[in-house]
Amino acid sequence: MSTQDWKQAAPGIWSLKAGEPASLSAMSVMGRQPRTDALQSMETASFPLDSEKIRVEVTGKQTVITLPLEREESLYGLGLQLLKLNHRGRTRYLRVNSDPKQDTGETHAPVPFYVSSRGYGVMVNTSRIVSIYCGSAVRLDSDLSGEAKDRNADRSWKATPVSDTVEIVIDEPGVELYLFGGPTTLDVVRRYNLLHGGGVLPPKWGLGFWHRVPKAYTAEQVMDEAMSFREKDFPCDVIGLEPGWHSKSYPVTYEWNEERFPDPAGFVKGMSEQGFQINLWEHPYVSPDAAIYEPLAPLSGSHTVWHGLVPDYTLEEAREIYMKQHETEHVDIGVSGYKLDECDGSELTRNSWIYPAHAKFPSGADGEQMRQLYGLMIQKMTDDVYRSKNRRTYGLARASSAAASSLPYVLYSDLYDHRQFVRGMCSSSFSGLLWTPEVRKARNAEDWVRRMQVVCFSPLAMVNAWADGTKPWSFPEVEAIVKKYITLRMRLIPYLYSAFARYCFEGIPPIRAMQLETASTVGAAGREHALDSTDFAYGGVSDTDVDDQFMVGDSLLIAPLFEGESERDVYLPAGVWYDFETGERFEGGRTIRVRAGLERIPVFVKNGAIIPMMPVLQHAPKQGEAVALELHHYGDAPGRFVLFDDDGVSFAYEAGEYRNRILEVQTETDGALIGSVSEAEADWKSAYSSFEWVFHYGSK
List interacting residues with ligand GAL (CB under 6 A): 215, 242-243, 281, 341-342, 414, 464, 466
Length in residues, the chain = 700
285-309: b or e for each residue (b if 16 or more CB lie within 10 Å)?
bbbeebebbebbeebbbeebbeebb
Phi, psi of 575 (to 5 degrees): 120, -175
Q: How far apart are CA 130 and CA 123, in angstroms?
A: 11
CB of 281 to ligand GAL, least distance (A): 5
| Identity of the residue, 242 or 517, whose beta carbon is nearer to ligand GAL in the bound complex | 242
CB of 289 to ligand GAL, least distance (A): 18
- Angle of CA points 81, 336, 644, to nearest 5°: 75
Residue 249 CB burial class (10 angstroms; 0-12, 13-18, ≥19): buried
| Closest residue by Cα to residue 455 from 516, 447, 433 | 447
Q: How far apart are CA 49 and CA 66, in angstroms?
A: 12
| Identity of the residue, 289 or 414, whose beta carbon is nearer to ligand GAL in the bound complex | 414
Beta strands 277-282 and 659-667 are unpaired
Question: Which residues are within 8 A (CB) of 177 and not within 5 positions of it... i.e. 6 or more apart?
Answer: 15, 16, 17, 18, 56, 65, 122, 123, 124, 125
| Identity of the residue, 252 or 490, whose beta carbon is nearer to ligand GAL in the bound complex | 252
| Identity of the residue, 414 or 417, whose beta carbon is nearer to ligand GAL in the bound complex | 414
Q: Which residues lie across from 674 on neighbouring strands? A: 666
Q: How far apart are CA 576 and CA 579, in angstroms?
A: 10
> Secondary structure of the chain: what % helix, strand, coil (to 5)?
25, 25, 50
| Identity of the residue, 80 or 513, whose beta carbon is nearer to ligand GAL in the bound complex | 80
- Residue 590, helix vs strand vs coil: strand
CB of 355 to ligand GAL, least distance (A): 17
CA-based end-to-end distance of the chain: 58
| Identity of the residue, 32 or 215, whose beta carbon is nearer to ligand GAL in the bound complex | 215
- The answer to whether residues 189 and 509 touch, using CB atoms and an 8 Å cutoff, is yes
Q: How far apart are CA 208 and CA 212, in angstroms?
A: 13
Q: How far is CA 576 from CA 107, 536, 553, 573, in A?
A: 37, 18, 17, 9
The neighbour count for residue 76, using CB atoms within 10 Å, is: 33
Q: How far apart are CA 406 and CA 200, in angstroms?
A: 4
Q: Which helix (H) or strand (E) holds 688?
A: strand 688-696
CB of 525 to ligand GAL, least distance (A): 37
| Identity of the residue, 180 or 466, whose beta carbon is nearer to ligand GAL in the bound complex | 466
Whether cis (ω within 30° of 0) applies to the bond prior to 251 is: yes
| Identity of the residue, 353 or 695, whose beta carbon is nearer to ligand GAL in the bound complex | 353
- Residue 612, helix vs strand vs coil: strand
CB of 250 to ligand GAL, least distance (A): 7
Q: How far apart are CA 630 and CA 171, in angstroms?
A: 56
CB of 247 to ligand GAL, least distance (A): 15
Q: SS3 for 309-341, per residue?
A: ECECCCCHHHHHHHHHHHHHHCHHHCCCEEEEC
CB of 140 to ligand GAL, least distance (A): 46
Q: Which helix (H) or strand (E) holds 133?
A: strand 130-134
Q: How far apart are CA 386 and CA 391, in angstroms?
A: 5
CB of 172 to ligand GAL, least distance (A): 31
| Identity of the residue, 155 or 350, whose beta carbon is nearer to ligand GAL in the bound complex | 350
| Identity of the residue, 132 or 213, whose beta carbon is nearer to ligand GAL in the bound complex | 213
| Identity of the residue, 344 or 506, whose beta carbon is nearer to ligand GAL in the bound complex | 344
CB of 157 to ligand GAL, least distance (A): 43
CB of 351 to ligand GAL, least distance (A): 11
- The answer to whether residues 405 and 129 touch, using CB atoms and an 8 Å cutoff, is no
CB of 216 to ligand GAL, least distance (A): 10
| Identity of the residue, 192 or 281, whose beta carbon is nearer to ligand GAL in the bound complex | 281
| Identity of the residue, 342 or 646, whose beta carbon is nearer to ligand GAL in the bound complex | 342
| Identity of the residue, 56 or 354, whose beta carbon is nearer to ligand GAL in the bound complex | 354
Q: Which residues lie across from 348 on neighbouring strands? A: 351
| Identity of the residue, 156 or 351, whose beta carbon is nearer to ligand GAL in the bound complex | 351
CB of 464 to ligand GAL, least distance (A): 5
CB of 379 to ligand GAL, least distance (A): 16
